[in-house]
Amino acid sequence: MERLPLGISRFDRIIGGGAPAGSVVLLAGQSGAGAREFCYTSAVMNGLARYESDRFELHYGELEGGTTLPEEIHYVSFTDERDAIVDEISFVMERELVDEGTDAVEFVELAEEYFQLTPVPTDWYADQTGSIADLGSRTESGDVLEAFADYLTANAAGNLVVVDSITDLVAAADDRLDWSDLTVLLKGLARASHRWGGVLLLLVNSEPLTTTQLGRLKEAADGTLLFEWESGGSERARTLVVEQFRGVLSRLEDEDVVRFETEIGDAGFDISNVRKIR
């Protein structure tokens, strides 16, 4: 089975080199528990692997046999532009790593489609290369789910695509989108992704979701990684739980491992300790 590296070195080695090609992976977590940092690290490390191989090997190591690098790395945001995302990544990772890694990342923002039916002033999010009137006419009939689907259709095949974040679409579903449209889109995405052969990482904050909503998102994904805070005495630790993952979970269960303690350092997100099932 062909695998694409997620960019988290110790985790990739444990699961056989990376995620199976064609996977849609839901990264669901509590605020600050590591899901977003996982996305940042995945994008930057895969970017380094493409254009800064020496630095990639220094921080990641060698790729496992049978692992294929994604042809391209795409980072999709519904609310933030490239510079804001890169600055945020730099709070997590060493700036030089970020600058070199993100040179290979294609950032796309769907802010115009996302914000156009809200009270948010147009000049807060619209591209200023044209007049406000021109921008309004371009996006007047747009739809954020349609724009999102079109972008994936054109760019997901063979590539790593990070989506930051599904939480934004969930928020929009309260008043501008139908929740069923979102879940059906994600189910269709999982079907298409198997043909595309890349890997899609869907970031979502689990805290504002109901159990039913989170469950439906999980159903639409091939894998679910849960990022949680765990308290012990006076300290808190970030943990990663592999709840489901096509082609991965069975391997971990054979080794009696499904929970990991994690850490965030200058090179981003990583595994710090492996917990055996007792």
Q: What is the pLDDT of residue 239?
A: 94
Q: Considering the chain, what is the average pLDDT of its residues? A: 88
Question: For the residues 163-167, what does the mean pLDDT come to?
Answer: 93
Q: What is the pLDDT of residue 276?
A: 63
Q: What is the pLDDT of residue 121?
A: 79
b/e string for 4-26 if b means 16 or more Cβ within 10 A?
bbbbbbbbbbbbbbbbbbbbbbb
Alpha helices, DSSP H only, in 232-271? 249-254
The token duo for 23 is 């996977």
Question: 38-42, 46-50, 102-106, 234-238: which range is least confident on average?
Answer: 234-238
Question: For the residues 146-150, what does the mean pLDDT come to?
Answer: 93
Q: Where are the domains of the chain?
A: 3-202+262-273
Compute the distance between CA of residue 86 and CA of residue 247 in angstroms, rounded to an integer: 32
**Which residues have CB under 8 Å from 207's CB, separation 6+?**
30, 31
Question: For the residues 172-178, what does the mean pLDDT come to?
Answer: 69
Burial class (CB in 10 A: 0-12, 13-18, 19+), 76: buried
The token duo for 83 is 């510079």
The type of residue at 208 is P
Q: What is the pLDDT of residue 110?
A: 93
Q: 3-58 pLDDT, tens per residue? A: 999 999 999 999 999 999 999 999 999 999 999 999 999 999 999 998 888 999 99
CATH topology of domain 3-202+262-273: Rossmann fold (3.40.50)
Q: What is the pLDDT of residue 49?
A: 94
Our separate counts of H helices and E strands in the chain read: 12, 11
Question: For the residues 59-65, what does the mean pLDDT come to?
Answer: 92
What is 133-144 written as a DSSP string?
HHHHHHHTT--H
Q: Give the residue with greater pLDDT, 96 vs 137.
A: 96
The token duo for 249 is 């979970």
Q: 117-129 pLDDT, tens per residue? A: 677 778 777 765 4
Q: pTM of this prediction?
A: 0.91
Tell whether the model's pLDDT for residue 136 goes beyond 50: no
Compute the distance between CA of residue 91 and CA of residue 264 in angstroms, rounded to an integer: 11
End-to-end CA distance of the chain: 30
Question: 209-223, 235-249, 263-277: which range is least confident on average?
Answer: 263-277
Tell whether the model's pLDDT for residue 154 goes beyond 90: yes
Q: 181-220 pLDDT, tens per residue? A: 888 899 999 999 999 999 999 999 999 898 999 999 999 9
Q: What is the pLDDT of residue 130?
A: 44
The percentage of residues in the chain with a pLDDT greater than 70, rounded to a whole number, is: 90
Q: Give the residue with greater pLDDT, 136 vs 276.
A: 276
